[in-house]
Amino acid sequence: MKSLKLNGQFNLESTLFCGQAFRWERQGDWFYGVIGDGILKLKQENSTIYYDSSNNITNDTLIRYLSLDLELNSVLNKIDRDKNIHSAIDFCRGLRLLRQEPWETFATYILSSYSNIPRIRRMVFNISRRFGKRLIFNGYVNYTFPEIERIAGAREKELKALGLGFRAGYLKNTAKRILNEGDLFLKLRLLSYEEIKKKLLQFEGVGDKVADCTMLFGLSRLEAFPVDVWIKRGIERLYFKGKPLSPKKINEFGRKYFGEYAGYAQEYLYHYLRNKI
């Protein structure tokens, strides 16, 4: 058992369950998840994080995954522009954006298309159980997220049978194309927001929303502002008196209005809209 003393604000529960990650589970006092090729369990008691893992995760790895190296206060101050976002910040203060593995993030959000969170969780679990590696830790069983090669080589029919529906082809074809690209995500890290987005949009099953989520949660591009149905309705209601706007307009508004940390505003609003209002 290891522990980590927190400096800045942090709220583990809202961080893990705000909808940015789909694999965390509560088991008693602990949260269990899969990071890379190991199971990680952790809990928060005031300003201490206790954790343990099947593959000896280090303090530095955990700090990086949870974005504990980020000056959250200054980020929140920059996006805290009005009473709406202020209420959202108050509701889940301490929520941090995770730094998730890019391929897993990309694949997961391709699956998220026109679905709901319980089902997304089930789809991710199903393909992990089928194409990942079995892990066990303290009696908790889960599976690594499948390698790109495994998804690329899967039969579309089988992916459908795992509950992916029309997303099966999107995921398989995207995996095949990534294999041809070679080190896609390594290359993307060097590019600008616009350049990354342009690249991601070329993959099947990837539109603005999936690309923005991949950039925000998988590539730490904090200026990304994903627009889903919740954010669309919420922004229309809170900022435009309910007037309907296209997702593109909502995205342009969000990025311009909230600035370089628009992604944090998006996630605080999303969590707030879903759980408070």
| Enzyme catalytic residues | 209
> Minimum distance between the CB of residue 50 and DNA, rounded to whole angstroms?
26
> Minimum distance between the CB of residue 117 and DNA, rounded to whole angstroms?
4
From 228, 198, 229, select the one nearest 215 (Cα to Cα): 198
d(CA 263, CA 5): 26
> Minimum distance between the CB of residue 263 and DNA, rounded to whole angstroms?
10
> Minimum distance between the CB of residue 247 and DNA, rounded to whole angstroms?
7
> Minimum distance between the CB of residue 57 and DNA, rounded to whole angstroms?
23
d(CA 32, CA 72): 24
If the CB atoms of residues 10 and 203 are measured against DNA, the closer one turns out to be: 203
Q: Are 37 and 104 in contact (CB under 8 A)?
A: no
Partners of 40 in the β-ladder: 33, 53
Provide the binding-site residues for DNA, judged by CB under 7 A.
18-20, 112-120, 122, 160, 163, 165-166, 170, 203-211, 213, 226, 228-231, 246, 248, 266-267, 270
If the CB atoms of residues 40 and 213 are measured against DNA, the closer one turns out to be: 213
If the CB atoms of residues 35 and 210 are measured against DNA, the closer one turns out to be: 210
From 137, 131, 118, select the one nearest 158 (Cα to Cα): 131
